[in-house]
Amino acid sequence: MLSKAQAWLSVLLLHFMEPCIFAKGEFNVLFIIADDLRPTLGCYSDPVVKSPNIDQLASRSTVFYNAYAQQAVCGPSRTSFLTSRRPDTTKLYDFNSYWRVSAGNYTTLPQYFKANGYTTLSVGKVFHPGIASNHTDDYPYSWSVPPYHPPSFSYEKRKVCKNKDGTLHSNLLCPVNVSEMPLRTLPDLENAEEAIRLLKQMKESPFFLAVGFYKPHIPFRIPQEYLKLYPIENMTLAPDPDVPKKLPDVAYNPWTDIREREDVKALNLSFPYGPIPKDFQLRIRQHYFASVSYMDAQVGRVLQALDDLDLSKKTIVAFTSDHGWSLGEHGEWAKYSNFDVATRVPLIVYKPGVTSPLPRPGEKTFSYVDVFENTQEQFGKGYKVHSMVELVDVFPTLASMAGLPLLHHCPVPSFKVQLCTEGFSLARILGRQEWTIKHQSYAYSQYPRPSDTIQQNSDLPNLADIRVMGYSLRSNDYRYTLWVSFDPVHFLANLTDIHAGELYILSEDPGQDNNIFDEFTRALLKLGAQPQWTESLKQHLMYFTASSKTKWTL
């Protein structure tokens, strides 16, 4: 047993040293964060979703194809990537604590830029609101001025969605006529306007502007016209809409947040599996995709402003999301799991002169693309990187790209170290067509559960209720998850007390539906691995990598 759950994390990681080659303050940073966005984007080869503005950004950027969140729920993921520490170090697995009080006084990404002379600004949902950021989005530590919150967000969960009979409800599916909305606007429209207003003021000092869009997070309260992009007759179900037979209960998330919406309640779904009627599944997918296109348009407006203000030649742009969202895969919806659909995120990084040539005078880098126009420009896919990267890499990457002093890798434990990173800077690989590292790379995610059986609070247990932690490792070839007992009082994972395991071989099973953990375990026992194999997760991984070839010929 390891004394600290994160001890094993450092073992396989590599520390990249890189020279400081950029002058500090030369580049601004625009950091755009979508909410609950998996890489359903044109630039990630999604065949359905229309995202021309993000695709245009990608065509001038390095696109990380295998980027993963550290925990697939907003608060823990945001606190993790904004501090570059994993959830075991922020001690945040739910929404109910502030890391500076409960874990350590960690310096955040925007705080680091602020300390280095940048004006730092927050628009929309950047930090998770409430206790998780001390009800202030970590102002004044992280931000130069109080963060902006769009006034129309207060209507997000109200009864503003019109049913066919004209009555108003708090629905999951909520396409609206914007001019009939309270305040006649929507949160992401306001976010884009505020971001543009701030950009106009930011001509002198270097700035770090974080813009957190709320979509495609539920409810799908979006301008109704975006649905036209996705005719319902063109929608298809997830390729694997059933709960996999060999999925352990502890791994399943019962998507309780969706069930609470009035339109879903009216379906009288059974707990925990549902299933949701097929026609409603198609509509959820349609509304999610429409929400992505609506958010994409807001990204386009902000990027156009960057260009109009002549800022795109001296501004680094990063686009990502806090985690993904299951769209019916494995019979699951929402986030709250360790599957790729919940943990994989888009990560797109643009730096003028590095990921794309510096624009010639008068030349445009970004211009708003109207998704409703049929004659859409086809964008190139940008530089692709297929290695596994993690959201904890974002902080050191942006700091390095902006020429700020490099961050040291965190010691274990690092509760007393204010500034360090549990990730790695990806700056040195930007602008390279393909990057391979000598060692296999991994991405780690984790998810807590209150019990081995599926309960009402399985999606998002409070800290005190956590009994099991699923540590998950994603390589190019497989996803491997161990569900082990967890003591929430001492923050201790017992890696020898294994409740369940999952192993998916991606070449045969890209959707992660055929869990071969039990077969694999039997094969290991046959190989005589019994005495040692439960020793630690590290041991498991070593056995896996060493024995997998033998296993397939057994």
Position 3 contacts ligand NAG (CB under 6 A): no
Closest separation in Å from C-beta 346 to ligand NAG: 21
Q: Which stretch binds ligand NAG (CB under 6 A): 247-255, 261-269, 343-351, 454-462?
A: 261-269
- Output b/e per residue, 435-450; b: 16+ Cβ within 10 A: beeeeebbbbbbbbbb
Q: Which of 45, 167, 179, 507 binds ligand NAG (CB under 6 A)?
A: 179
Position 539 contacts ligand NAG (CB under 6 A): no
Q: Which of 96, 376, 457, 496 binds ligand NAG (CB under 6 A)?
A: 496
Q: Which stretch binds ligand NAG (CB under 6 A): 266-274, 278-286, 316-324, 470-478?
A: 266-274
Q: Which of 21, 232, 237, 267 binds ligand NAG (CB under 6 A)?
A: 267
141 phi and psi angles, rounded to 5 deg: -60, -50
Is 20 tagged catalytic?
no
**3-state DSSP call for residue 355?**
coil
Only one residue has tokens 């040539």, namely 357
Residue 423 is inside which H or E element, if any? Answer: none
Q: Which of 100, 158, 301, 551 binds ligand NAG (CB under 6 A)?
A: 100
Contact 9, 472 (CB under 8 A): no
Comparing C-alpha atoms, which of 260, 27, 223, 31 is closest to residue 125? 31
Position 231 contacts ligand NAG (CB under 6 A): yes
Position 168 contacts ligand NAG (CB under 6 A): no
Q: Which stretch binds ligand NAG (CB under 6 A): 26-34, 98-106, 349-357, 408-416?
A: 98-106
Position 21 contacts ligand NAG (CB under 6 A): no
Closest separation in Å from C-beta 255 to ligand NAG: 18
Only one residue has tokens 């126009």, namely 373
**Beta-bridge partners for 347:** 64, 320
Q: Which of 268, 374, 378, 433 binds ligand NAG (CB under 6 A)?
A: 268
Question: Among 15, 43, 128, 386, which one carries the catalytic annotation?
Answer: 128
Total H helices, total E strands in the chain: 14, 17
Q: Which stretch binds ligand NAG (CB under 6 A): 38-46, 227-235, 393-401, 503-511?
A: 227-235
Q: Which of 84, 107, 355, 512 binds ligand NAG (CB under 6 A)?
A: 107
Q: Which residues, at least 6 apart from 362, have a Cβ–Cβ distance to it below 8 Å?
A: none
Is 499 tagged catalytic?
no
Beta carbon nearer to ligand NAG, 13 or 417: 417
Contact 290, 234 (CB under 8 A): no
Closest separation in Å from C-beta 98 to ligand NAG: 6
**Beta-bridge partners for 305:** none
Residue 239 region, left (φ>0) first, then alpha (ψ -120 to 50), else beta?
Answer: alpha
- x/- mask, ligand NAG, residues 390-429, rule CB under 6 A, reads ----------------------------x-----------
Beta carbon nearer to ligand NAG, 377 or 497: 497
Position 370 contacts ligand NAG (CB under 6 A): no
Residue 483 is inside which H or E element, if any? Answer: strand 478-487
Beta carbon nearer to ligand NAG, 60 or 221: 221
Helical residues (DSSP H) of 328-386, grouped into ranges:
340-343
Q: Which of 101, 232, 237, 554 binds ligand NAG (CB under 6 A)?
A: 101
Closest separation in Å from C-beta 178 to ligand NAG: 8
d(CA 217, CA 35): 5
Position 133 contacts ligand NAG (CB under 6 A): no
Which class for 548: exposed (0-12), middle (13-18), buried (19 or more C-beta within 10 A)?
middle
d(CA 150, CA 156): 11
Closest separation in Å from C-beta 362 to ligand NAG: 35
Q: What is the DSSP string of 72-138?
A: SSHHHHHHHHHHT--HHHHT-SSS---HHHHT--PPPHHHHHHHTT-EEEEEESSSPSGGGGTTTTT
Position 313 contacts ligand NAG (CB under 6 A): no
**Beta-bridge partners for 195:** none
Position 265 contacts ligand NAG (CB under 6 A): no
Q: Which stretch binds ligand NAG (CB under 6 A): 118-126, 190-198, 262-270, 394-402?
A: 262-270
Closest separation in Å from C-beta 229 to ligand NAG: 6
Q: What is the DSSP string of 222-262?
A: EEGGGGGGS-GGG----S--SPPTT--GGG----HHHHTSH
Q: Which stretch binds ligand NAG (CB under 6 A): 54-62, 150-158, 175-183, 354-362?
A: 175-183
By annotation, the residues acting in catalysis are 74, 128
Which residues are at the interface with ligand NAG (CB under 6 A)? Answer: 1, 100-101, 105, 107, 134, 177, 179-180, 229, 231, 234, 266-268, 418, 494, 496-497
